[in-house]
Structure 1
């Protein structure tokens, strides 16, 4: 039997992540970075801890559930988006993460959103995706819809208006440093898009460019093709700060009762703009986004984590959210992840903190 770590100890690990001694050291120039200490998931990624403190809780009548996106907010705080159309504020500084605020979101007609992706802008406004149409809307800090929506290409709209499949659109959203470029990741492929030479399904990432300074509107910009692993979908995307992206790929095997969660480093530099390409395929010479596996989170130590459902690794659940929360002292990225419990007793809302050393561009 694997040893169990009490929850209090696990949350303490999470809280100590920012100040913990360096657990990752770079390898020689000929090889990848290597985790020297800590809870290694791979040569370049370490698990610092997890917390179930938010699981099956409520805040001011709002169940803290359905967490689909995370974004760094003010120092030590995170914004957490529920796909139940609620935006939470989380304090992740102490031994136990806690909810400190909640606002309901709605579209221009007062209807709730199927909210999935989140960016916190410099002025505190929130950009929120809904995968129903899909859409990207701007909301004030108090959740009020400002009336601003970003343009969306017709092909990315859900059929019959476009070629996107229901529940397979804007699952992730991130902004490059300075907020001048936004990137939304489609969870699944458009009807008619194909696979690359390795048989991986090609999905699309859509970008927008800010047109008039730091408070201007966004116009449609480049679109890239991204090869997603078989039986997986893109759950989230997060900017690393150097032009590259972290991509969270997720899948669930019903027969095995197992979640698969993989973290990739993706480099869109050199990828072709595919806005005018009707059918993505690896056979037409189009350059797709390059990606490198950082870690399969199923390889992380479970730290004695309980799970109401049988899993090969009980640490894992339906992880949908990912945010870069800054840097450790040695330059490693500090990552915060969250799972969506789908409001089910057999699933858990869990926060995870990891660190990642990225290879040089």
Structure 2
């Protein structure tokens, strides 16, 4: 597999100017269901078990995608896949199969010594390809548990998976204190709620990472009774230095678990940039329980938001925001995927959606592609969903915004040869 860089079209600058128009307004575009495909758990490719797809990124020149697996080198060494998707084969069916989904490559991620990661020494989650610099960026959640503490990381890698450098993650993200993160004086990320995602700015100079939930010193994790104050942190790509940080308020868990002490979570699982400090975000809520209590059969509720950080407070000077008066990132619901229906009228069954990318044009419209992490579970599945981006009729500036999105989709997609 070979990746090569390309020059961003000058049209990108024009697209960015369109993005700024009317972007404060609610829901500037709508998302419609094209169809889905499902890769069964246990699928094998090139001697590896396909699963745990926690991010997806489209590469326009080849029409292929890259997707990182969050396998902690338990099934196979930590890795990412290359795959192809034929959107013409996607269908609004409860049993779509996996026609049109093809895995075409797999690459092992290497540690700082040039070796594959040992078991439980890494938790890969987010990945983006930088065409300008011909590099990959990927995030590692780290660990906070009785098995040990590991700091979360954001790293640059060559396309062969070899390590290039680490970005300078501020020390306040490192887990300190108790295993739970709930004791007085605890700080840093909660276990399994750290850097789940990455996004590259439209000008290609800034990398964003976001925690799935708050830092321990900022707020509690999300429950059915409270949300959680996640942080978005920016990095200068050339220097690797951390910059501005913003608070993104993750919503409470959608459905209370049953029993009441059952597992439940909601988190910011991925995001993509649509303008200057503007994003489309995924919040994935999961509740243990039964459909009779309102909980979906899979336990998952997936919602997409338009998020705007332009007026948000830069909290990079605060190791803790407790007691501080700040303005958080604003957000507007774009789509609750629970509202989507298949052609037979059945509700779209949703797995653990954790990946999001702009896809290719389809029927003349911009697309979004979502991917699920099946946790390598027998009752879960690797789900790929295609959505169509459509302009909201009013006001006029929304159509201009959509045109800008289309240009950004063309200009900022990654290139793979």
Q: 1:127 aligns with which of 128, 137, 145?
A: 137
Matches within 5 A, 1:61-210: 61-75=47-61, 76-84=63-71, 85-93=78-86, 95=89, 96-109=100-113, 110=115, 111-112=117-118, 113-122=122-131, 123-132=133-142, 133-146=151-164, 148-160=165-177, 162-194=187-219, 200-210=227-237
Stretches of structure 2 that go unaligned for 5 or more consecutive residues are 1-24, 72-77, 90-99, 143-150, 178-185, 254-265, 291-296, 393-397, 402-417
Q: Aligned with 1:263: secondary structure?
A: strand
Contact 2:187–2:217 (Cα < 8 Å) also in 1: no
Structure 1 position 323, deviation (Å): 0.9
Pairing 1:218–2:236 present: no
1:262-286 Cα distance to aligned partner (Å, 9 max, x none): 10110011111101224335x7431
Per-residue deviation at 1:303? Answer: 4.4
Give yes or no for contact 2:68–2:126 (8 Å, CA) kept in 1: yes
- Tell me how far 1:326 sits from its aligned partner: 4.8
Shift of 1:217: 3.0
> Per the alignment, do residues 139 and 155 of structure 1 end up closer, same or farther by CA in structure 2, a change over 3 Å counting?
same
Cα distance, 1:304 vs structure 2: 5.7
In the alignment, structure 1 residue 276 sits paired with structure 2 residue 317: yes
Name the structure 2 match of 1:52: 38
Q: Compute the displacement of 1:235 (Å).
A: 0.7
Distance 1:129 1:49, change over 3 A: same
Deviations 1:259-318 (A, max 9, x none): 11110110011111101224335x74311100000011111114469xxxxxx9452111
CA gap of 1:225–1:199, structure 2 versus 1, over 3 A, is same
Q: TM-score, normalising length from structure 1?
A: 0.78
Q: CA deviation at 1:104?
A: 1.1
The answer to whether the 8 A contact 2:26-2:332 is kept is: no
Q: Which residue of 2 aligns with 1:24?
A: none
- Structure 2: distance between partners of 1:254 and 1:313: 19
Measured in 2, the distance between the counterparts of 1:267 and 1:251 equals 21
Distance 1:275 1:105 in 2: 30
Judged with a 3 Å threshold, the aligned counterparts in structure 2 of structure 1 residues 192 and 59 are, in CA distance, closer, same or farther, namely same
Q: Is the 8 A contact 1:55 1:348 kept in 2?
A: yes
User: How large is the RMSD of aligned CA atoms in angstroms?
Assistant: 2.7
Once the two structures are superposed, the pairs formed by residues 286-305 of structure 1 within 5 Å of their partners are 286-303=326-343
- The answer as to whether partners of 2:39 and 2:381 remain within 8 angstroms in 1 is no
Structure 1: 5+ residue runs without aligned partners?
1-29, 35-43, 211-215, 306-311
Give the Cα separation in 1 of the matches to 2:193 and 2:27.
Answer: 33
Q: Which has the higher contact order (CA 8 A, sep 6+)?
A: 2
CA contact (8 A) 1:54 1:98 kept: no
Count of residue pairs the alignment pairs up = 308
Change (3 A) 1:252 1:149: same
* Deviation, structure 1 residue 164: 1.4
Aligned to 1:335: 368
Q: CA separation of 1:333/1:285 partners in 2, compared to 1, >3 Å: closer, same or farther?
A: farther
Match of 1:355 in 2: 388
Q: Distance in 2 between matches of 1:141 and 1:32?
A: 36
SS of equivalent to 2:172: helix
- Distance (whole Å) between structure 2 residues aligned to residue 241 and residue 327 of structure 1: 19
User: Shift of residue 333 of structure 1?
Assistant: 3.7
Describe how 1:201-280 pairs up with structure 2 within 5 A.
201-210=228-237, 216-231=238-253, 232-241=266-275, 243-256=277-290, 257=297, 258-280=299-321
Cα displacement (A) at 1:32:
5.5
